[in-house]
Amino acid sequence: MTEYTVIGLRVEHTGPLALLQDAGRFGVRRLGVTQGGPADLHGWGWANWLVGNPWGAAALEVTLGGLGLVAERDLCLALGGADLGASLDGEPVAPWTAFRMREGQRLAFATPVAGLRAYLAVAGGFAAEPVLGSVATVVREGLGGLDGRGGKLAAGDRLAVVAEACHREAGRRLPEEERRDYREPARLTLLPGAQVAAFDGRSLFQAFHAEWRVDDRADRMGVRLLGPRLRCRIETLISEGIGLGAVQVPADGQPIALLNDRQTIGGYPRLGALTPLAASRLAQCLPGQAVRLAPTTAERALDAYRRLRIALGA
């Protein structure tokens, strides 16, 4: 912690998984290090925007709820992403809003109402020592987070914030069209990949016309989708680089969409890759939720991503 930071929050108790995440760790995949960062880029980005933070500011990613925090000074905070039944001293706090938290008040997350991951941003961003250029927490690799070793938040942890931003006022309102209701059906746009032609015609038809269900085997590394068996003529591949959203199809024919904590290389044939915003949407799906895949073009995917970055001032 530097002279420009002060302690803002104390962790009273934790749930399944609460992690510190900035935009991610880039330029190091050649070393076998994955990117980390927010699983839902949209929810994380708008939470930061609500408190006036620039792109890349570190926020908390709270999965499934259960986190309890106590303010050690007055703060300006915002919630984005999932509705995890947050409350401030027992009073509900709606997602997609900025709010004041006074010294001594308690913020608690209960259980999912809609979505899986909530993002808590603080004016100025949470502060920690970067590792390989980022504070993004990747538990599997032991990188980032408060201690620099990839630890998830634990009871007794104290979260530092940028001192000069503590008294910033919460005045921004989220554009209505950017609010997400994660209970609605998920349509996931996908860029067809290099091996798409190796899947038989029936499999390609089913991939984009069948309903898929999110398996309970899902985490920040990837999400398995359950549905019709997809068949590919390619049985083995030389391992190649894996990007965000890559949809691998192993021998059982059930696709696996890879997310932020994915491995850096893989050898299964790929149907394609989810767009960044589709990967974000999938990261908010609970086990058993229905999703559909929809092909798109690189131009449309890039346009959607650019519009998000422009809206966030990034």
Residue 56 has pLDDT above 80, yes or no: yes
Rounded to two decimals, the pTM is 0.95
CA distance linking residue 189 with residue 302, whole number of Å: 12
Concatenate the DSSP letters of all residues of the chain into one string: --TTEEEEEEEEE--SEEEEE-S---S-GGGT------S-HHHHHHHHHHTTPPTT--EEEEESS--EEEESS-EEEEEEEEE---EETTEE--TTEEEEE-TT-EEE--S-SEEEEEEEEETT-EE---BTTB---BTTTTBBSSSSB-PPP-TT-EEEEEGGGTT--------GGG---TTSPEEEEEEE-TTGGGB-HHHHHHHHHS-EEEEEEE-SSEEEEESSPP-BS------EE--TTEEE--TT---EEE-TT--SEE-S-EEEEE-HHHHHHHTTPPTT-EEEEEE--HHHHHHHHHHHHHHTT-
pLDDT of residue 254: 97
The 10s digit of each residue's pLDDT in 165-207 is 666 666 688 999 999 999 998 999 999 998 999 999 999 999 9
The 10s digit of each residue's pLDDT in 97-116 is 999 999 999 999 999 999 99
What tokens were used for 126? Answer: 């949470």
Q: Which CATH superfamily, name and number, covers 186-311?
A: Cyclophilin-like (2.40.100.10)
Whether the CA torsion 265, 266, 267, 269 is positive or negative: it is negative
Residue 67 has pLDDT above 70, yes or no: yes
The 10s digit of each residue's pLDDT in 196-209 is 999 999 999 999 99
CA distance linking residue 41 with residue 242, whole number of Å: 18
The 10s digit of each residue's pLDDT in 259-271 is 999 999 998 999 9
Spans of all domains in the chain: 5-178, 186-311
Provide the percentage of residues in the chain whose pLDDT is more than 90.
Answer: 87
Output the average pLDDT for the chain: 94
Q: Give the HSE-up count for residue 301: Cα atoms under 13 Å, Cβ half-sphere.
A: 19
Q: Give the HSE-up count for residue 246: Cα atoms under 13 Å, Cβ half-sphere.
A: 22
